[in-house]
Amino acid sequence: MKNIHSEVIENILVVTLDLQGEKVNKLTSTLSGEFEEAFKQAEDNAVEAVVIISGKEDCFVAGADIDELSNAANAEAIKTLSQNGQAFFDRLESSPKPIIAAIHGACMGGGLELALACHYRIATQHAKTVLALPEVMLGLLPGAGGTQRLPRLIGIQAALDMMLTGRNIRPAKAKKLGLVDTVVSPIGLKHVAIQAAQKLVSGQLKTRKREPTAQQKALEDTPPGRALLFRQARSMVLKQTQGLYPSPLAILDVVEHGYKRGIRAGFNMESEKFAELSQTPACGSLMSLFFGQQTCKKNRFGKPDHAVKTLGILGAGLMGAGIGLVSVQKGTRVLLKDISQENLGKGKKQIYSVLNKKTKRKAISAFERDRLMSQVIGQVNYTGFENCELVVEAVFEDLALKHRVIQELEEHINEDCIFATNTSALPIADIAKGSKRPENVVGMHYFSPVEKMPLLEVIKTDETSENAAATAVDYGIRQGKTVIVVKDGPGFYTTRILAPYMDESAILLAEGINPYDLDTIMKKYGFPVGPVTLLDEVGLDVGAHVSKDLGAAFGERVVSADPRAVQALVETGAHGRKSQKGFFLYGAQQNKGMPLEKIKSTLGKPFGVKNRKPINPEAMKVVNQYRIEGKHNHDPARVQQRMALRFVNEAVLCLQEGILFSPVEGDIGAVFGLGFPPMRGGPFRHVDSEGVSEVVRQLKTLEDEFGARYTPAQMLVDMAKKGERFHPA
């Protein structure tokens, strides 16, 4: 067999999974077929038990083959795939001989469902070993028995948490949950698994039984308790997803059905729902994003001349420290430079804090935490920078300052060193004017917080060399980022498309919409946070600065709101959350908020928001000074249309002008950098779903009412005439 190696060692059948031509194991139809064939050897009387292990370096099984799912002819074909998986795993589970899963590396999706069908699970204590059922992130549910086996193994509440979030479970947590029976060192895993198999056969070793608490028994082991549990879970899901994602609710339905009607009925409903979900628009959008991410993890510029072994970072603030954190964890030595020891102390403390939390979660050892910290060298000079292959600057957004920094730096680095700027809006070509070697200058726009945000926007100027671009993309991928590459220009891609969206929110506020309502309306559209809260998080001072620059570059199409309003707000000291006051109040300022009665009388009764942040009365006073008089239609669907279409239209203009290289990168950048609703798939996928002609019609209607800021991109008009779309149907 090509992808399976089997051998009998001391009466134990060891089945090694090793999908040829792939870095990871995936449950392809070919691998599954060979696996079933190999498993027949277990029927030999001489075989007493079976060990399933991986031949890959850091992967047990990464999950099902998404390409096969995507290419399946119809829902019936997908239902058959699910039923076939269920049937084979049922054979494993019902085997009279012990079956042991020896897990090292990623054990995800169908890989974990395989492990759940085994009688005993061993996991290695290793940073690469994670267990998860992430199907919900693709708009699906576990389709090979996972919805039924997992809750019966670890309890309903813990299982729902795993399936509804898709979160990764580390080995120590997995053992605590009862997801695995034991955790061992990666060294000699096969030998340990064989020994465990022999002890299971002899009766010296027993599988661990879950011991639920009294509260868990009351909730999970009685029909009234389960009814309450599922009711609360549905309420939580609807609150968190706004009802926009069908898969979490389907997961709840299938798990509950299995408890009400029995595990066989649960399996049947699981395969039916798996097939149904595969045909939903949300699943199509999320699948599109999955394939887009795979595309963005490839380096179109090829291999760089030099791999980055030592990274220099200029500026130890939140961004600089965040970049240092994600870099040192990938094996890079980090030279963190700042002008003050105090800032260096804060930066290193930030890095240590995140690593220490990992230590407490047992994701890494205390020794590994300290080893990583030893690779972050804080300094106020340029000692060692001559050894850097890449230097990233993360200083304040001031062009003159960046010129001084790059000129000073070039006295200390070698001629091959690549200089990357982490600006969010300043054109890279303008920054490169301060360099003696502009071909080595590239943009690397990270998003905050760096350790949590998955996107990296690499910006290439006309002078940026292929090697500089290759170095930036290669290193971003090594950092674990999803990388998009865009052409240089004011605001690049992400900042530029966010600007008109935020501008429209400022106009709506000036029209008198309640800040609470505007946030709620856009969250119901699918954004993770509302635009008013987002502006407070970004900082009103930063927003005013970027708005001024982009307004100068693009005029009223991007910035139509009265710029005096935000500037007046900034002058009151309202810089957003960092100053404890923006449109909302934070921290010690919260007791100064507008009373609810005043909000009702001036802005109307807010809806749909609980635990509200207090509104800043000073902010509303300034907004009222620049009030747009007249009667305004703030129907939620209308507000969503106005906000979303400015975002989408600007994205298309970026593609039209060559700032973007592909719709795929445009969708990825919008979703993973700015929070565009994932179930809509990104601005380009959204246009395809709505229909280009329909989007043009909506834009023209708004253009008639509001003017040039809604003029459709010429690319949209042309595509509508030809009946074209951005992505293949």
Nearest-angstrom CA–CA distance, 554 and 557: 6
Q: Answer whether 625's CB lies under 8 Å from 568's CB.
A: yes
Structure tokens at 550: 């982009």
Cα separation values, 373 from 25, 167, 328, Å: 33, 27, 8
Q: Answer whether 254's CB lies under 8 Å from 141's CB.
A: yes
Neighbours of 260 (CB within 10 A): 13
Structure tokens at 143: 């389709």
Nearest-angstrom CA–CA distance, 30 and 68: 11
Eight-state DSSP code of residue 137 = G
Residue 464 CB contacts under 8 Å (≥ 6 apart), including other chains? 428, 432, 438, 439, 441, 442, 488
Nearest-angstrom CA–CA distance, 634 and 514: 10
Q: Answer whether 231's CB lies under 8 Å from 238's CB.
A: no
Phi-psi region of 448 (alpha: psi -120 to 50; beta: other; left: phi over 0): beta
Residue 139 CB contacts under 8 Å (≥ 6 apart), including other chains? 245, 246, 247, 277, 280, 282, 283, 284, 285, 286, 287, 679
Nearest-angstrom CA–CA distance, 378 and 51: 48
Q: Answer whether 233's CB lies under 8 Å from 252's CB.
A: yes
Quick check: is 57 catalytic? no
Torsional sign, CA 703, 704, 705, 708 = positive
Catalytic option among 48, 457, 504, 618: 457
Cα separation values, 634 from 512, 518, 519, 699, Å: 9, 9, 13, 17
Nearest-angstrom CA–CA distance, 439 and 435: 9
Structure tokens at 501: 């969206």
Query: Is 311 in a helix, a strand, or coil?
Result: strand
Nearest-angstrom CA–CA distance, 705 and 632: 11
Nearest-angstrom CA–CA distance, 719 and 714: 8
Q: How many Cα atoms are found within 13 Å in the side-chain-facing hemisphere of 33?
A: 6
Query: Is 433 in a helix, a strand, or coil?
Result: coil
Nearest-angstrom CA–CA distance, 445 and 494: 9
Q: Where are the beta strands (DSSP E) in 474-592?
A: 482-487
Nearest-angstrom CA–CA distance, 696 and 640: 16
Residue with tokens 């680095």: 413
Would you say how long the chain is, in residues?
A: 729
Structure tokens at 197: 């198999």
Query: Is 142 in a helix, a strand, or coil?
Result: coil
Nearest-angstrom CA–CA distance, 110 and 66: 11
Task: Find, among 406, 351, 415, 348, the residue nearest to 382 by Cα.
Answer: 406
H helices within 329-427, ranges in order?
A: 341-360, 366-374, 399-409
Nearest-angstrom CA–CA distance, 327 and 375: 10
Query: Is 432 in a helix, a strand, or coil?
Result: helix
Query: Which residues are known catalytic residues?
Result: 457
